[in-house]
Structure 1
Amino acid sequence: MSEPAWNKLVEEHWTALEARPTTGEHRLRVSHLPVVTGEGPIAVAVDHEGHHHLLVPVNSRTKVRSGLDGPVLRLRKRPLEDEETYQTYADLACLRDDFADLFTKLCADVLSTVGAAPEHPVKGLYRVLDRWKALFQTQGPALGPEQLAGLFGELLVLDRLLQRDPGAHRLWRGPKGHRHDFSTGLDAIEVKTAVDPSGRKPRIHGLDQLEPPPDGSLHLVWVGLHRMTASGGGTGFVELVERTLRHCDDESTVLGLLSEAGYRHFEADRYRDVRFGVGEETWFRVLPEFPGLTGGALVAAGLPVSVLDVEYTIDLTGDVPGTVTPDEVSRVVERITQESD
């Protein structure tokens, strides 16, 4: 169906709904559209104030993204019940009549996008909202080589977590400045990445970066990369980003985290030629005998912690206490993703 046809369809349904008697304050006049998803048909609605709504069906356990609650658009999770059915929706409402024409075009875009991939309706909704938001974004500074490598390493671990749990992106705390890159509050993962490294010598930032959470565990992941040419194999940076977006259940949240880390997806062409080969991915359990300097160790030694902005390098070459086997890595990933439920 063409864009004008989608626009006409939406307008016809809203016009028919507006002709019905006004409902109660907490009720909607609802009309189903011929776009059927795995959770049921998409619908449009009109509330008692005459505001237009687009209702995208979701599973009752699905979390609907927060943050869109402005004077024009509002998105929230909304259950609706009639004499025969009970269905939960992602309810996108337009609260300003003077934006009605634009809202119709936005809804038509959602219908077209979801119709092409009906198995993930809310993901299609988020994709359209992010695409429209990108219209008003400005270009920022490009990521440098070290930033690209560090983000690539974190995305490798994130993608591993997402393959166990599509919602595991909520564990990714690094872009928000958390001391650990991934954390459940009880268990944490810190990722250290280097390109063409001569040995495993990660740089540690602060006295708390190798400090496990209270009564929890900390794992350090060492990722050794090799920069590849555009035709030399390996994995493209943008390719890894897009793979991560496919595996997650909320693209908009991951895109927001990537933006906080300095990568804006509408600038992807900047990074199309960036490719890395993964030479090593080794996991370590940070045990008391693990090399490092922490505030807890200084306190235990009776030394006052009065030094700020500490940075140092540790050497993980050779046989290091706490080295984790591949089978143990799988168990760690399973435990951490289960904790996030």
Structure 2
Amino acid sequence: MSGESLRTLVEEHWSALGARPTTGDNRLRVSHLPVMTDQGPLTAAVDHEGHRHLLVPINTHRKIRSGLDGPVLQLRKRPLEDEDTYQVYADLACLRGDLNDLFTGVCVDVLTAVDRAPENPVKALYHVLDRWKALFQTQGPTLGPEQLAGLFAELLVLGQLLDRDPSAHRLWLGPKGHRHDFSTGNAAFEVKAGTDVSGRKPRIHGLDQLEVPADGSLCLVWFGLHRVTVSGSGIGFLELVKRTLQKCDDEGALIGLLAEAGYRPFEADRYRDVRFTVGEEKWYEVGTAFPRLTGSALLAAGRSPVSVMDVEYTIDLSGDAPVAMTPDEVSHVIDRIVEESA
């Protein structure tokens, strides 16, 4: 069963369980899932507070690791019994209803991993949690206004790539420290954003940020953004994150990239009121006539860039030159970078 089919299935189970009446504070409404282990099937559950659970059957004497106790995820050992059966589970629960969609992604990963290794479901569970839990538990500094605008713009570009290829998150290398935000090695995009209405003035970091890949191409993408406070106007930052995750075929990988870029799902409340309108979107081909400082240009001029460090500068694209690309040209370069990544 595909990941998307599993996602739909487990969501249907939780929705059906949530519609049932509660029968007690310490009771779970449960429904078996079609993934088997030596101890029995994995099970979806909903508690009296509406929190979602994934139950992994274990041996009675099996110990469960400690340390995962909120604020988003909770893991504990839980026995369940009815008139006919008694079974002990590793109970993974989501304590934040607004993160249910991400919890579904975690559970789909668990179901897939257990299906591949049904003889040791707890090991499969731990493997998945080790990939995900730091994203929920590690708190970092709040993204500043410029960082938010920059990440928002990068997600807008990523969304266009994902529209063509749901695996295009693999091209987003900026969070990992690559000199270009998106790259196949030959083709690259560098994304800049500004909220200053005075013009297009991207800040360039380093002598290699506008260096064109050898025998390749580079585009600078500029977004003029306006921060808005009126609910319903513009695009909410969290709305854009959710939309991008829905387009991607590997939510876990994309959530990891978002975390490296400074955004973690459990910190969503920090950014609930962040909204932008897109004033303009301009794409430029970075060629010989494009205004820039690069190491290769300094070498060509007989100057060594080796001892030049921490270079930052601003370029002004507010005039008629350089000329921005046409919509057809933009569509072509997006198609090309996706095709090169295939």
Distance 2:135 2:173 in 1: 27
Distance 1:225 1:312 in 2: 20
> Does structure 2 conserve the Cα–Cα contact (< 8 Å) formed by 1:224 and 1:278?
yes
Distance 1:53 1:185 in 2: 45
Residues 210/132 of structure 1: CA separation in 2 closer, same or farther (3 Å cut): closer
2:90 maps to 1:98: no
Aligned-residue offset at 1:4: 4.3
What are the residue-to-residue correspondences of 1:14-25 with 2, within 5 Å?
none
**Aligned position for 1:45:** 37
**Aligned position for 2:333:** 332
Structure 1 gap ranges (5+): 10-32, 35-42, 55-91
What are the residue-to-residue correspondences of 1:50-65 with 2, within 5 Å?
none
Residues 136/170 of structure 1: CA separation in 2 closer, same or farther (3 Å cut): closer
Distance 2:204 2:291 in 1: 11
Give the TM-score taking structure 1 as reference length: 0.67
Residues 108/137 of structure 1: CA separation in 2 closer, same or farther (3 Å cut): closer
**Aligned position for 2:23:** none
Distance 2:130 2:172 in 1: 20
Q: What do residues 155-203 of structure 1 show as CA deviations (whole Å, max 9, x unaligned)?
A: 1111111111111111111111111111111111000100133111111
> Does structure 1 conserve the Cα–Cα contact (< 8 Å) formed by 2:191 and 2:221?
yes
What are the residue-to-residue correspondences of 1:208-227 with 2, within 5 Å?
208-227=208-227
Residues 129/216 of structure 1: CA separation in 2 closer, same or farther (3 Å cut): same
Q: Which amino acid aligns with 2:294?
A: T
2:197 maps to 1:205: no
Distance 2:94 2:239 in 1: 29
Aligned residues between the structures: 262
Instruction: Specify the SS of the correspondent of 1:98.
Output: coil
Bigger mean CA offset, 302-311 vs 271-280: 302-311
**Aligned position for 2:194:** 194
**Aligned position for 2:258:** 258
Aligned-residue offset at 1:98: 2.0
Aligned-residue offset at 1:129: 5.1
Distance 1:182 1:124 in 2: 32
Distance 1:338 1:93 in 2: 44
> Does structure 2 conserve the Cα–Cα contact (< 8 Å) formed by 1:165 and 1:337?
yes
Aligned-residue offset at 1:134: 6.4
Give the TM-score taking structure 2 as reference length: 0.67
Q: Which amino acid aligns with 2:91?
A: K
What are the residue-to-residue correspondences of 1:226-305 with 2, within 5 Å?
226-231=226-231, 233-305=233-305
**Aligned position for 2:157:** 157
**Aligned position for 1:320:** 321
Residues 208/124 of structure 1: CA separation in 2 closer, same or farther (3 Å cut): farther
Q: What do residues 50-109 of structure 1 show as CA deviations (whole Å, max 9, x unaligned)?
A: 9x997xxxxxxxxxxxxxxxxxxxxxxxxxxxxxxxxxxxxx999994239476434999
> Does structure 1 conserve the Cα–Cα contact (< 8 Å) formed by 2:57 and 2:90?
no
> Does structure 1 conserve the Cα–Cα contact (< 8 Å) formed by 2:204 and 2:312?
yes
Aligned-residue offset at 1:141: 1.8
Q: What do residues 183-242 of structure 1 show as CA deviations (whole Å, max 9, x unaligned)?
A: 111111000100133111111111100001111110000100011113361001111111
Residues 125/271 of structure 1: CA separation in 2 closer, same or farther (3 Å cut): farther
Aligned-residue offset at 1:296: 0.6
Structure 2 gap ranges (5+): 1-12, 18-26, 43-55, 66-76, 79-88, 114-127
**Aligned position for 1:147:** 147
Q: What do residues 258-314 of structure 1 show as CA deviations (whole Å, max 9, x unaligned)?
A: 111111111111111111000011000100111101001111111111211111111
Percentage identity across paired residues of the two chains: 62
> Does structure 2 conserve the Cα–Cα contact (< 8 Å) formed by 1:53 and 1:94?
no
Residues 135/163 of structure 1: CA separation in 2 closer, same or farther (3 Å cut): closer
Bigger mean CA offset, 301-310 vs 241-250: 301-310
Instruction: Specify the SS of the correspondent of 2:91.
Output: helix
> Does structure 2 conserve the Cα–Cα contact (< 8 Å) formed by 1:123 and 1:251?
no
Q: Which amino acid aligns with 1:245?
A: L
